[in-house]
Amino acid sequence: MTGKKAQDILDEWLELVQINLRVLRLIASYREDYQVVLLSNASAPFLRRILERGHLEMYFDQIMISSEEKLAKPDVRIYIRMLERTGMQPEQTIMIDDNPNNIEGAKAAGIYGVLFENAQSFEEEFSNILARCFGRSKDQ
C-alpha cells in the first residue's frame, strides 16, 4: 500500500526506537537479586532486531514473545506458561506492564501486577512494591 518494501518500512520503524537507559539501569540492578523476564506482545521479528541491535538480551534471564508462544497478554495462559518455564511461583512474581489489561491478566494468574508509568516513579516506588508484595525492600 505504501509502495515501499517491507524491509524498508521495518528499518524506518527501527530507527524510531529509543532505548530508555534509566529503565536498563533499573533492570540491571534488579537482576542482581531477582529473575527478570521480558514478556512482550511486540512482533517477534521487530523485537528480536531491537534486542540484537541494542545488545539487550543480557538484561533478561528469559525472553518470551507472544507471537512465538502463540498466546498473547492478557490471556492468563501466557502468564502460566511463563511461570512454568521459569520455575517461578505466582505469589513470588511481580508483573510490570504499561497496559492495565495486561496487569489484570497477570492478576488472574495469581501474579502481583504493577502499572508502569515512567522509570522515575517506578524507581521511587519499587521498595514500596516489594514491601507490599513480599514484606521486604530491594536491599534485603
ω into 45 cis (within 30 of 0): no
* Residue 97: how many other CB atoms lie within 10 Å: 20
| 22 vs 38: CA distance, rounded Å | 16
Residue-wise pLDDT for 62-108, tens only, equals 999 999 999 999 999 999 999 999 999 999 999 999 999 999 999 99
Residue-wise pLDDT for 24-69, tens only, equals 998 998 888 899 999 999 989 889 989 998 899 999 999 999 999 9
- Dig out the grid coordinates for 71 from the structure: 498466546
- Torsion over CA: 123, 27, 66, 52 (sign): positive
Predicted local distance difference test score (pLDDT) of residue 137: 55
Architecture of domain 6-134: 3-Layer(aba) Sandwich (3.40)
Residue 117 has pLDDT above 80, yes or no: yes
C-alpha angle with apex 96: 92 to 99, nearest 5 degrees? 135
What residue ranges do the domains of the chain occupy? 6-134
Identify the band that residue 138 occupies on the pLDDT scale cut at 50, 70 and 90.
low
Identify the band that residue 17 occupies on the pLDDT scale cut at 50, 70 and 90.
confident
- Displacement of CA 85 from its chain's centroid (Å): 15
Predicted local distance difference test score (pLDDT) of residue 100: 97
Can you list the alpha helix ranges (DSSP code H) found in the chain? 6-16, 21-31, 44-53, 66-69, 76-86, 100-108, 119-134
| 133 vs 25: CA distance, rounded Å | 22
| 56 vs 33: CA distance, rounded Å | 18
pTM of the model: 0.84
